[in-house]
Amino acid sequence: MQNETSKRKIEHIELALLESVERKEMNWFDEVILLHHALPDISPDEVDLSSNFAGKPVKAPIIIEAITGGSDLSKGINEALAIAASEFGVAIGVGSQRAMLEDKSLIDTYKIVRERAPDVPLIANLGMSHISTEKAVENAKAVVEAIEADALAIHLNFLQELLQPEGCREFPELFSNLVDISREVDVPLVVKEVGNGISGEVATLLESAGASYIDVAGAGGTNWAVIEGSRSGGLRRDTAYNFINWGIPTVIGIIEVRKHIKRAKIIGSGGIRTGIDAAKAIALGAHFVGAARPFLVSFKREGLDGIRSLLKRMIEELRLSMALTNSRSVEELRLSRRFVLTGRTLEWALQRNIL
Ligand SMILES: Cc1cc2nc3c(=O)[nH]c(=O)nc-3n(C[C@H](O)[C@H](O)[C@H](O)COP(=O)(O)O)c2cc1C
């Protein structure tokens, strides 16, 4: 079971496992320092990590981000991710459902997530090219219904599309279609990037379009210029590699979006690799954090147990970071501004007047 879209997605999975896909230069988490609280007031076991995503309770504010679907390989990955999401009580997204719109026989490669994780928030997924069409609302409703999703994520992957040999260069009616989707699809709308970040100005537009969640998916983790560059040759490859350092680092994206939006919730993702990074993202203003590539790498190494170990470690590190900053709850960490900015992050924040 494979169409062109599924084949491309398998290539993406294989290439995403390469170490060179992580751009450490664009990961600015080291420039954010959490304020250490030396006098213990709470134990890590008292820290409350619980939250609520798309109307469903979660045990930790960590999201297994959109990765895959559309092939047998994807089905296996999705099944393991879903089992872990259910065990740990965290939200989970599926990868772009474009493949199942093109070939209905692929639905079960996504639906397996709902089957294995019946109680956690599940996020459907479509790309900007699949909503830049007259069928935008129809496509959006179809992908939500197919997997009984609790939310719908639309990914904005402009740079990736431009670097992809088969990518789109025009996105007609994108904004007005987002508005229609937010009005006509009856689950909350998440709008996300895929690794190049979201500015404050764009966040304002997305909020006005009706986005309930904005996932900054900034630079510093999975890098699509590397992935698409590796899939191409000649000039196209050179061009892709020249865009390796393009984008808004995740820590900056969170600060930008926090300053500009009024009611939407923020998901901080892109290069979050530890529970300490997660705590920093929350302290900067994120309500939730997400990761994608680490789950794929853990699955490749140790299957379901690898995913379990990763979640266990990240949750424990987040818990410890919260106790060490004297934060009893996710909301307390988010609102108390117990961080110091240094280096380029501070320069950016000052120049953009977003502190
Ligand atoms: C192999 C792979 C496939 C992905 N496919 C999708 C996708 O189909 N839809 C989407 O919204 N994001 C997709 N993403 C992006 C992630 O959801 C996430 O936004 C981004 O990778 C940043 O997180 P990370 O640095 O932790 O990987 C994919 C990421 C990876 C690694």
What CATH number corresponds to the domain at position 308? 3.20.20.70
**Ligand 1 pocket: which of 67, 214, 226, 289 to mutate (most atoms <8 Å of CB)?**
67
Chain segment 2-60, per-residue pLDDT in tens: 678 888 889 999 999 999 999 889 999 999 999 999 999 999 999 999 999 999 999 99
Q: How far apart are CA 126 and CA 169, in angstroms?
A: 17
Spans in the chain with pLDDT lower than 50: 1
What pLDDT is attached to residue 8?
A: 85
- Among protein residues, the one with the nearest Cα to ligand 1's atom 2 is 67
Instruction: Tell me how many domains the chain contains.
Output: 1
Q: Which residues line ligand 1 (CB under 6 A)?
A: 12-13, 16, 65-68, 95-96, 125, 153, 155, 192, 194-195, 217, 221-222, 269-272, 291-293, 296
Are 270 and 193 contacting, i.e. CB atoms less than 8 angstroms apart? yes
Q: How far apart are CA 156 and CA 154, in angstroms?
A: 7
Using CB atoms within 10 Å of the CB of residue 263, give its burial: 0 to 12 exposed, 13 to 18 middle, 19+ buried. Answer: exposed
Helices (H), the chain: 4-16, 72-88, 98-102, 108-116, 136-147, 158-163, 174-184, 200-209, 224-231, 234-242, 250-260, 275-284, 293-324, 330-335, 343-351
Binding residues, by number, are 8-9, 66-68, 96-98, 125, 160-161, 192, 222, 271-273, 292-293
Phi-psi region of 139 (alpha: psi -120 to 50; beta: other; left: phi over 0): alpha
Domain limits for position 246: 4-351
Are 169 and 213 contacting, i.e. CB atoms less than 8 angstroms apart? no
| Ligand 1 center to 149 CA (angstroms) | 18
SS3 4: helix
What pLDDT is attached to residue 47?
A: 98
**Ligand 1 pocket: which of 6, 126, 194 to mutate (most atoms <8 Å of CB)?**
194
Chain segment 260-280, per-residue pLDDT in tens: 999 999 999 999 999 999 999
Phi, psi of 95, deg, nearest 5: -75, 175
Are 109 and 72 contacting, i.e. CB atoms less than 8 angstroms apart? yes
DSSP string, 117-168: -SSS-EEEEEEGGGTSSTTHHHHHHHHHHHHT-SEEEEE--HHHHHHSTT--
What pLDDT is attached to residue 5?
A: 81
DSSP tag of 29: G
What pLDDT is attached to residue 7?
A: 85
Beta bridge partners of 222: 22
What pLDDT is attached to residue 261?
A: 97
| Ligand 1 center to 183 CA (angstroms) | 26
What pLDDT is attached to residue 233?
A: 87
**Ligand 1 pocket: which of 13, 24, 65 to mutate (most atoms <8 Å of CB)?**
65
Read off the amino acid at residue 264.
A
